[in-house]
Structure 1
Amino acid sequence: MRLNEDPAAFEAFYRRHIDAVMRFVVRRVSDPHLAADLTADIFLAALDSAHTYRPGRGTEIAWLYGVARNVVSAQHRRSVREAEVTSRVAGRRLMDDDDLGEMVERIDAERQMRRALEAMRDLPEGERAVLELVAIDQLTVSEAAAVLEIRQVTARVRLHRARRALQQVASPSAAYMEGQA
């Protein structure tokens, strides 16, 4: 991809993927300002790292979700480190009322998915990452494996384990009965 060399190519790439990236972000954060900032950061990171995209390893969106996952994870790590010293308002750019309204609507629309992510928080990181990409972001197992830079068979095993763990949490008596059979 020559996104950093061709403004028209970057614009087309941005338009193709902005909605998917926004959905990815608002599933993971509930603050509209932070969601807007992370979305912009993801496209800046994609522009900076466009030379790393290899079509043979997966689709553009799978690669972009990998970039997005790294940006969102980095933000979560920063937030944890800065929680003691930074107020909620510091560093946020202002949004106009229309932008803020649209971001609030997106966040409300993804509330159920954030609950699902919350239910998955106790899963091991590798299993949770595969499950998020497949079940929530609707990537194929192959695409999720490419995003996480693991083998497809590893992704399938992790997905199976994650689904089984969630079933046990959702219905412990069914899991117990299954173990008794």
Structure 2
Amino acid sequence: MRRKQPDIATDPDAFEAFYRRHVDAVTSFLARRVDDPHTAADLVAEVFMAVLDSAHTYQPGRGSEIAWLYGVARNTLSAERRRAYKESRLADRVGGRRHLDSDDVAELVSRIDAENLARRAFRAMAGLPDGDRAMLELVVIDQLSISEAATALGIRQGAARARLHRARHALRDVPEMAPFVMEGIR
């Protein structure tokens, strides 16, 4: 008889183990997409809060924990970008931020600096259709398998392969993208 996995939404020890397994990957995922350490720290916290709310939606048969978690992180980041856009249109003031000590800021600045090449690649990918760009990000930059990226995006593997091929083909002549897109282009 197969033992039931502990529920991360109700078992604090299971959540702590899940958090420890994935916090570095989530932090790097977000550091590649934002350049402010406070925003990165807030988003990491929001991702894991969202995990508590949506833990019941994770289906191990559909993909790895990290693929599901990157899907949660993408949704959290998208929601934050929509919120920031609305806020910027409504007011020209800075919202409250939680206080970070100098060690936290230094660590986040270091991660953000380390992800500079990836942010330049994101700028180069800005002209791609959303689905193609998302696929390229997850496979090439975040290093998910095509199957895991398909899970994170909620699409079939065939559609994922087509999106990845289109994205790589569209960016094959962009110098910033050469290290990222040459793999798999025929």
Instruction: Give the TM-score, by structure 2 length.
Output: 0.88
SS at 2:34 equivalent: coil
Matched, 1:69 2:83: no
1:77-88 aligned within 5 A: 77-87=82-92
Alignment identity in percent? Answer: 63
5+ long unaligned stretches in structure 1: 172-181
Quote the residue 2:106 is aligned against. Answer: 101
Following TM superposition, the consecutive aligned residue runs of length 4 or more in structure 1 with deviations greater than 4 angstroms are none
Q: Deviations along 1:46-75, whole A, 9 cap, x unmatched?
A: 111000000000000000000000000111
Quote the residue 2:26 is aligned against. Answer: 21
The separation in 1 between residues aligned to 2:105 and 2:174, in whole angstroms, is 36
Q: Deviations along 1:107-138, whole A, 9 cap, x unmatched?
A: 11101101111110110000000000000000
Cα-Cα RMSD:
1.4
Quote the residue 1:152 is aligned against. Answer: 157
Distance 1:101 1:93, change over 3 A: same
The range that moved more, 103-112 or 83-92, is 83-92
Structure 2 residue identity aligned to 1:164: H
The separation in 2 between residues aligned to 1:11 and 1:88, in whole angstroms, is 36
SS at 2:84 equivalent: helix
Select the residue among 167, 170, 178 that pairs with 2:172. Answer: 167
Matched, 1:121 2:126: yes
Select the residue among 115, 133, 139 that pairs with 2:144. Answer: 139
Count of residue pairs the alignment pairs up: 171
The separation in 2 between residues aligned to 1:86 and 1:32, in whole angstroms, is 22
Distance 1:87 1:36, change over 3 A: farther
Distance 1:88 1:15, change over 3 A: farther
Instruction: Give the TM-score, by structure 1 length.
Output: 0.91
